[in-house]
């Protein structure tokens, strides 16, 4: 099963980055390129343990829906979201936030995923999905970093 690990340094305290990471609006803004919207479940505000949200977006020219639930929640150290229904055979995204020792945050995203369709899915993981998802998470993190660093904490 593919596993992505992406580290992002953010010049804002962990609690701020944690809170922004759980904001539905911050997420949809970061995914504007794919037109991602929250269409069911918790569609506004900040997600918390047990909350579920259905995202709809366009990827590879097709409209996709994925329902995810926050399955672990340890503020401000991290949280986990997992696919309940959607295009993946498995999707688990761990978000970790550690102080960097100078007032900022080291954010670690760990994504474990598996495509459906057996051997064809494995081929898609290797040929397309691994690279595509890596870019998608990096784009999301760049937006989160910009928001966290631009707005005053509080």
- The domain covering 3-150 belongs, at the CATH homologous superfamily level, to START domain (3.30.530.20)
pLDDT at residue 99, as a whole number: 98
pLDDT at 94 over 80: yes
What's the pTM? 0.92
pLDDT at 153 over 80: no
Separation CA 57–CA 61 (nearest Å): 10
Ranges of each domain in the chain: 3-150
pLDDT at residue 115, as a whole number: 87
* pLDDT band with cut points at 50, 70 and 90 for residue 151: low
Q: Report how far apart, in Å, the C-alpha atoms of 5 and of each of 48, 67, 93, 94, 125 are.
A: 23, 22, 10, 9, 15
């Amino acid at each position: 099963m593919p596993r992505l690990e992406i580290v992002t340094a953010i010049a804002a305290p962990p609690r701020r980055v944690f809170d922004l990471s759980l904001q539905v609006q911050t997420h949809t803004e970061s995914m504007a390129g794919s037109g991602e919207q929250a269409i069911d479940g918790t569609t506004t505000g900040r997600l918390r343990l047990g909350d579920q949200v259905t995202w709809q977006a366009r990827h590879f020219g097709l409209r996709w829906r994925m329902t995810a639930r926050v399955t672990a929640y340890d503020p401000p150290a991290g949280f986990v979201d997992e696919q309940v229904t959607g295009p993946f055979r498995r999707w688990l995204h761990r978000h970790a936030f550690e102080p960097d020792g100078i007032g900022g945050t080291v954010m670690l995203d760990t994504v474990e995923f598996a495509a459906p369709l057996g051997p064809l899915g494995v081929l898609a993981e290797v040929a397309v999905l691994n690279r595509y998802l890596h870019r998608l998470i990096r784009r999301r993190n760049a937006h989160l970093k910009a928001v966290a660093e631009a707005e005053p904490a509080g």
